[in-house]
């Protein structure tokens, strides 16, 4: 991953901690952990996550791209943003 | 419609019941009955009433004493078929001093005992004092429209009152929090009777009877329970005839009756039927929101115009909600998870200002005829087992009002279609329980551990015998009637905020004959695919324009976060959420609440879950400050106090056997 990817990783982790993990302060979230399965984000949180990625990184997310494969974990988001920027 | 209260001691001798205490109890309920106080003192017993005059305005005083002077009666509510019952009793030789329903109900009880309850069509709570047995009988109507609280005191005395505040006003019990009751609110939206949010204060359940004799509670049972299952006899009943008769009965009053008009199917149908039964102009009232996302004004005005009512719109903005919210909590006497009671409190106030004290309203239709999305979710979870694609497509259709399904991604579908799928008892309600549980994430760790999953465990343990074998949608309807409807919609969002202004709500869909018909229909006749409330829609198509009859359900909601975080929000919001205030209440983890507050301030807490969590915290703080964390309220004699009738030391006859 590039340095840019590390920025994406750091910023998304900070965003998730600030906005979702206040409800689970004891959870040690790893980058590969499933955000839905661990209840870190609910369905509205998922929408918020998608919008944050769009706004923060200046990319357009198509409806068909709103999937767990792309947004289900911090790793998934980093990879998705990387692909979109490369694409 | 009134407030009632009283205290009874185990023995006639001994500590007398204080007239001052009884008057404080009456004054604490003055909002329920601003037209007059009545007090009866017996040996070791006292009953009080605060009266809202609806029938026999000049003579219908309470407490009532039987002609034989051997029992007394205080009553809150209406039995709508009282003229028919009165005619029967008169034919049997009974004579009456008033034309009120109170006297008919009391006389029926005197003659037939509690068997008479099955004859009553209405909404009521009462206390029936029989000094010969030193017995008091507390009874509540089938669905729990009217409230009734009681406390069994350490010396065996029983204090009771329409609202818990009357018990605290007596000086015989102080307000303490009940964690299980509070946790019920954050699980099922309301404490399930007999539990309340207060330790030691219980409620008579819907359709319940509590009998106290000589210091002991000797019976607690249900005189009526909701029964489900296909019933050929009930199916043969004509819904239109039943509903028209229910509306006709509920328009009986010696004062004008109006209706609440939400703009949806149920209140529109009810209003159309009420207009047909009303000579002259029917008055209708509705809440409109300045925030257009919640507003149904256009639909309401369309219905009012189509039916031809004289309509009043009460527009509510965020600051109005914030301003009224503490008062709504004070009347509800419980933490809340929605702000929705506050606009209804303001609506009732406006109704009163327009000179109306009785309104018919549409609660019950969604529960009986399967109107809520929750019922559709039950069907979709079943469908998802055989055809998940189709279930997902239909789910997106159900929730199309939430915006683009694709943008909601996989989480929403998975949440709705998988949550509760394996729970044969409570499966229908676990999406709501889980969505509500965000507020529990904010509990102090000790509270979280103490509460555990006990609220749901209690509910499971108290389900009717054979419940697991019921049809899925019958189970879901039963749970909806016995949790949300009874504990929240009819209470915090119903009786309490209407009676705050002395306005009586009446519920034509909760006529027990309408219920029996609906519960006896096969579920498929009520909900077919996504087509809900089919019998009501069919009836509505005959009496309303097509565009109204086919209108989809729009949940009644009010803004939840904005009122408390907009510029100019009341100072109590910040005070309530300060770490020291949170610590004083002892329910919340201040650090987690701070996370939520950050989100609210940033305008990010736009979801239902966080809205409920914020309202849960704020209302708990207000409730605690109003009842638990401050000195007991005093209720001194008011200069504007209404007329008081006092029967001093009546010495009810204990000799005459009946």
Summarize pLDDT for B470-482 with one digit per residue, the tens: 999 999 999 999 9
CA distances from B575 to B182, B199, B539, B602, B618 (A): 21, 26, 51, 19, 10
* Sign of CA pseudo-dihedral B496, B502, B505, B511: positive
Q: Please check whether residue A86 touches B, CB under 8 A.
A: no
Angle at B263 between CA B258 and CA B267, to 5 degrees: 50
What percentage of chain B exceeds 90 in pLDDT?
Answer: 81
Q: Do A25 and B592 touch (CB under 8 A)?
A: yes
Structure tokens at B652: 């009810």
SS (H, E, C) chain A: CCHHHHHHHHHHHHHHHHHCHHHCCCCCCCCCCCCCCCCCCCHHHHHHHHHHHHHHHCCCCCHHHCCHHHHCCHHHHHHHHHHHHHC
Mean pLDDT in residue range A19-44:
88
Mean pLDDT in residue range B560-565:
95
- Top pLDDT among B550 and A3 is at B550
Cis bond upstream, residue B194 (ω within 30): yes
* B336, pLDDT greater than 70: yes
Render pLDDT for B241-295 as a digit per residue (tens, 0 to 9).
999 999 999 999 888 899 999 989 999 999 999 999 998 889 999 999 999 888 9
- Output the pLDDT for position B651: 63
- Output the pLDDT for position B650: 60
Q: Which residues have C-beta within 8 Å of that of residue B137, sequence separation ≥ 6? A: B114, B127, B128, B130, B209, B210, B211, B212
Mutate to test the interface with B, among A22, A53, A69, A77 (most CBs of B within 10 A): A22
Q: Do B415 and A44 touch (CB under 8 A)?
A: no
- Output the pLDDT for position B131: 93
Q: What residues of B are in contact with residue A19 (Cβ under 8 Å)?
A: 599, 604
Q: Please check whether residue A5 touches B, CB under 8 A.
A: no
Structure tokens at B239: 């819904």
- Count of beta carbons in the 10 Å neighbourhood of residue A56: 13
- Top pLDDT among A1 and A69 is at A69
Q: Do B415 and A42 touch (CB under 8 A)?
A: yes
Q: What residues of A are in contact with residue B595 (Cβ under 8 Å)?
A: 18, 21-23, 25
Q: What is the mean pLDDT of chain B?
A: 93
Angle at B281 between CA B275 and CA B282, to 5 degrees: 50
3 state DSSP class of B268 = helix
Sheet containing B158-161: give its strands across.
Answer: B202-203, B149-152, B158-161, B2-8, B45-51, B36-42, B644-647
Render pLDDT for B346-401 as a digit per residue (tens, 0 to 9).
999 999 999 999 999 999 999 999 999 999 999 999 999 999 999 999 998 998 88
Render pLDDT for B273-285 as a digit per residue (tens, 0 to 9).
999 999 888 999 9
Axis-axis angle for helices B297-307, B265-277 (nearest 10): 20
Question: What is the C-alpha to C-alpha distance for residues B64 and B68, in angstroms, rounded to an integer?
Answer: 12
Bridging pattern class, strands B158-161 and B216-222: unpaired
Question: What is the C-alpha to C-alpha distance for residues B553 and B125, in angstroms, rounded to an integer?
Answer: 32
The DSSP symbol for B53 reads -
- Output the pLDDT for position B652: 64
Render pLDDT for B77-126 as a digit per residue (tens, 0 to 9).
999 999 999 999 999 999 999 888 999 999 999 999 999 999 999 999 99
3 state DSSP class of B517 = helix
Least confident of B33-37, B43-47, B305-309: B33-37
Nearest-by-Cβ selection for B410 from A25, A63, A67: A67
Instruction: State ipTM.
Output: 0.86
For residue B550, what pLDDT band results from cuts at 50, 70 and 90? confident
Q: Which residues have C-beta within 8 Å of that of residue B226, sequence separation ≥ 6? A: B142, B207, B478, B481, B482, B515, B519
The DSSP symbol for B631 reads P
- C-alpha Rg value of chain A to the nearest Å: 12
- Output the pLDDT for position B653: 61
- State which residue of chain A sits closest to B404, comparing Cα positions: A63
For residue B656, what pLDDT band results from cuts at 50, 70 and 90? very low
Q: Which residues pair with B360 in a beta bridge?
A: B259, B506
Question: What is the C-alpha to C-alpha distance for residues B621 and B326, in angstroms, rounded to an integer?
Answer: 10
For residue B411, what pLDDT band results from cuts at 50, 70 and 90? confident
* B438, pLDDT greater than 70: yes
φ/ψ (deg, to 5) at B558: -125, 155
Q: Do A66 and B409 touch (CB under 8 A)?
A: yes
- Output the pLDDT for position B657: 41
Axis-axis angle for helices B388-398, B405-418 (nearest 10): 120
Q: Which residues have C-beta within 8 Å of that of residue B113, sequence separation ≥ 6? A: none
- Top pLDDT among B345 and B230 is at B345
Distance from CA of B592 to the nearest CA of A (A): 5
Are the C-beta atoms of residues B146 and B124 closer than 8 Å to each other?
yes
Render pLDDT for B166-190 as a digit per residue (tens, 0 to 9).
999 999 999 999 999 999 999 999 9
Angle at B438 between CA B437 and CA B444, to 5 degrees: 95
Question: What is the C-alpha to C-alpha distance for residues B445 and B109, in angstroms, rounded to an integer?
Answer: 50
Which uninterrupted H or E stretch holds B126?
strand B122-130
Closest CA to A41 of B183, B438, B154: B438
Mean pLDDT in residue range A9-14:
95
- Output the pLDDT for position B658: 40
Residue pairs between chains A and B whose CB atoms are closer than 8 Å: 69
Burial A25-53 (b: 16+ CB within 10 A, else e): eeeebeeeeebbeebbbbbbbbbbbbebb
* A2, pLDDT greater than 70: no
Q: Which residues pair with B46 in a beta bridge?
A: B7, B41
Dump the DSSP string for B578-596.
Answer: SHHHHHHHTSB-HHHHHHH
- State which residue of chain B sits closest to A45, comparing Cα positions: B607
Mean pLDDT in residue range B609-622:
96
Q: Please check whether residue A67 touches B, CB under 8 A.
A: yes
- Output the pLDDT for position B551: 79
φ/ψ (deg, to 5) at B611: -60, -45
- State which residue of chain B sits closest to A41, comparing Cα positions: B411
For residue A37, what pLDDT band results from cuts at 50, 70 and 90? confident
Closest CA to B203 of B229, B184, B226: B184
CA distances from B549 to B265, B266, B336 (A): 6, 9, 32
φ/ψ (deg, to 5) at B54: -125, -40
Token pair 């109204």 is found at B548
Mean pLDDT in residue range B56-66:
78
Render pLDDT for B212-228 as a digit per residue (tens, 0 to 9).
999 999 999 999 999 99
Q: Do B409 and A43 touch (CB under 8 A)?
A: yes
Nearest-by-Cβ selection for A42 from B407, B411, B595: B411
């Amino acid at each position: 991953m590039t340095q840019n990817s590390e920025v994406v990783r750091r910023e998304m982790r900070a965003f998730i901690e600030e906005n979702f993990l206040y409800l689970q302060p004891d959870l040690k979230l790893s980058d590969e952990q499933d955000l839905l399965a661990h209840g870190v984000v609910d369905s509205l949180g998922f929408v918020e996550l998608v919008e944050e990625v769009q706004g923060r990184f200046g990319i357009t997310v198509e409806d068909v791209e709103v999937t767990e494969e792309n947004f289900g974990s911090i790793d998934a988001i980093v990879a998705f943003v990387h692909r979109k920027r490369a694409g | 419609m009134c407030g009632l209260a009283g205290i009874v001691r185990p023995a006639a001798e001994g500590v007398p019941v204080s007239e001052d205490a009884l008057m404080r109890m009456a004054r604490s309920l003055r909002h329920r009955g601003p037209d007059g106080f009545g007090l009866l003192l017996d040996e070791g017993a006292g009953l009080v009433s605060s009266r809202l005059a609806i029938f026999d305005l000049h003579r219908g005083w309470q407490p009532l004493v039987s002609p034989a002077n051997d029992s007394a009666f205080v009553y809150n509510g209406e039995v709508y078929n009282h003229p028919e019952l009165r005619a029967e009793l008169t034919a049997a030789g009974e004579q009456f001093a008033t034309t009120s329903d109170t006297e008919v109900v009391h006389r029926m009880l005197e003659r037939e005992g509690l068997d008479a309850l099955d004859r009553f069509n209405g909404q009521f709570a009462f206390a029936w004092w029989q000094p010969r047995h030193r017995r008091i009988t507390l009874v509540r109507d089938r669905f729990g429209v009217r409230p009734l609280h009681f406390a069994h005191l350490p010396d065996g005395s029983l204090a009771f009152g329409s609202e818990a505040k009357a018990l605290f006003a007596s000086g015989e019990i102080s307000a303490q929090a009940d964690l299980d009751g509070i946790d019920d609110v954050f699980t099922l939206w309301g404490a399930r009777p007999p539990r309340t949010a207060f330790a030691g204060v219980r409620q008579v359940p819907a359709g319940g009877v509590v009998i106290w004799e000589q210091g002991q509670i000797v019976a607690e049972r249900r005189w009526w329970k909701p029964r489900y299952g296909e019933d050929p006899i009930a199916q043969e009943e004509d819904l239109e005839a039943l509903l028209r008769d229910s509306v006709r009965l509920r328009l009986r009053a010696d004062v004008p009756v109006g209706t609440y008009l939400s703009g949806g199917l149920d209140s529109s149908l009810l209003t159309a039927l009420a207009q047909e039964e009303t000579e002259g102009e029917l008055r209708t009232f509705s809440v409109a929101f300045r925030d257009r996302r919640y507003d149904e004004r256009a639909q309401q005005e369309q219905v009012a115009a189509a039916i031809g009512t004289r309509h009043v719109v009460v527009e509510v903005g965020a600051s109005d909600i914030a301003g009224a919210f503490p008062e709504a909590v004070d009347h509800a006497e419980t933490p809340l998870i929605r702000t929705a009671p506050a606009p209804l409190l303001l609506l009732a106030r406006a109704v009163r200002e327009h000179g109306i004290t009785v309104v018919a309203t549409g609660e019950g239709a969604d529960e009986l005829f399967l109107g809520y999305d929750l019922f559709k979710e039950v069907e979709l979870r079943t469908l998802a087992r055989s055809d998940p694609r189709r279930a997902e497509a239909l789910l997106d259709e159900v929730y199309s009002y939430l915006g683009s399904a694709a943008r909601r991604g996989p989480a929403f579908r998975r949440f709705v279609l998988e949550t509760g799928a394996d729970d044969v008892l409570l499966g229908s309600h676990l999406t709501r329980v889980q969505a509500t549980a965000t507020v529990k994430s904010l509990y102090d760790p000790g509270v979280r551990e103490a509460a555990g999953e006990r609220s749901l465990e209690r509910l499971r343990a108290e389900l009717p015998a054979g419940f697991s074998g019921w049809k899925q949608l019958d189970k879901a309807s039963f749970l909806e009637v016995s949790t949300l409807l009874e504990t929240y919609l009819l209470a915090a969002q119903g009786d309490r905020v209407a009676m705050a202004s002395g306005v009586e709500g009446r519920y034509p869909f909760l006529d027990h004959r309408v219920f029996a018909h609906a519960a006896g229909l096969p579920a498929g006749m009520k909900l077919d695919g996504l087509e809900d409330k089919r019998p009501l829609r069919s009836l509505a198509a005959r009496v309303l324009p097509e565009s109204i009859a086919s209108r989809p359900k729009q949940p009644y909601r009010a803004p939840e976060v904005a009122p408390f975080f907009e510029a100019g929000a009341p100072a109590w919001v910040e005070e309530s959420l300060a770490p020291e205030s949170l610590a004083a209440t002892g329910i919340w983890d201040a650090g987690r609440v701070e996370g939520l507050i950050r989100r609210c301030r940033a305008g990010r807490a736009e979801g239902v879950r966080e809205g409920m969590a914020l309202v849960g915290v704020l209302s708990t703080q207000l409730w605690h400050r109003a009842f638990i964390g401050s000195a007991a309220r005093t209720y001194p004699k008011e200069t504007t106090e209404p007329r008081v009738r006092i029967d001093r030391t009546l010495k009810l006859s204990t000799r005459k056997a009946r």
